[in-house]
Amino acid sequence: MTRTLVATHGRTALLAIAGPAVIGAALGMPFGLSKLLAEAGMVTAIVVGLSVFMIPALYIGTTLIGAAPSADRVGASAASALRAGGTLLLGLAPATVFLIATSQTRLVVWALGFLVLAASMLASLRILFSDLFTTSAARLRALPVFLVWSVVSLGLGAHLFARSLERSGATTIAQSVIEPDDKE
């Protein structure tokens, strides 16, 4: 029983960490090995760290409106959501690596990074919401708090991610170079 629990939790942790790490590595790939490793660490830290930072706020907010499940369940649901997000990122990794490897503009790195991470986070939020609030009444009551919490979390995540990309050398969107075309 203990071995099964350890195996399950281990697999969850591995998927939650591997997904962001692989995507981060893909995004840092055009800028050299050191940036690749740095970005892999940064994206993982942002995804996992932000989740750990924000989950207590969700628990407190939903408790205040009387819609919160137990703390254990909140933790388990958060882990499940992170696992789903990590799995999605791993599935999108081959496509992301290919698109970055065959493109020559920084805009692509930015756009792909935001798109892929946003897709993963939205999938995680969906699972978290459906796991935590299982009845229609609970969902209705918790929806405003959950929405505000989601917007703040996504906003923080986007801001931290943009700063990490700038540090890795991807510069800003405004500085991305796309050559104008020629007359034919």
- For residue 120, the tally of other CB atoms under 10 A from its CB is 24
Q: d(Cα 44, Cα 49) in Å, to the nearest integer? A: 8
Output the smallest distance, CB 115 to other proteins, in A. 9
Output the smallest distance, CB 88 to other proteins, in A. 4
Count of all residues that appear for the chain in the document: 184
Q: 176: which 2 tokens?
A: 């991305």
- Rule CB under 8 A: is residue 88 a binding residue for other proteins? yes
Q: Total number of residues binding other proteins (CB under 8 A)? A: 31
Q: How many helices (H) and strands (E) does the chain have?
A: 5, 0
- Rule CB under 8 A: is residue 107 a binding residue for other proteins? yes
Whether 104 and 35 have beta carbons less than 8 Å apart is answered as: no
- Rule CB under 8 A: is residue 92 a binding residue for other proteins? yes
- Rule CB under 8 A: is residue 98 a binding residue for other proteins? yes
Output the smallest distance, CB 63 to other proteins, in A. 26
User: Looking at 8, 104, 172, 175, which residue binds other proteins (CB under 8 A)?
Assistant: 104
Q: Can you state the angle between helices 71-101 and 2-28, rounded to 10 degrees?
A: 40
Binding string, 108-147, against other proteins, x = CB under 8 A?
A: x--x-------xx--x---x--------------------
Residue carrying the six token digits 């692509």: 108
Closer CB to other proteins, residue 87 or residue 171? 87
In this structure, the dihedral spanned by the alpha carbons of residues 4, 90, 123 and 117, taken in order and rounded to 10 degrees, is 130
Binding site for other proteins (CB under 8 A): 84-85, 87-95, 98-99, 102-105, 107-108, 111, 119-120, 123, 127, 178-184
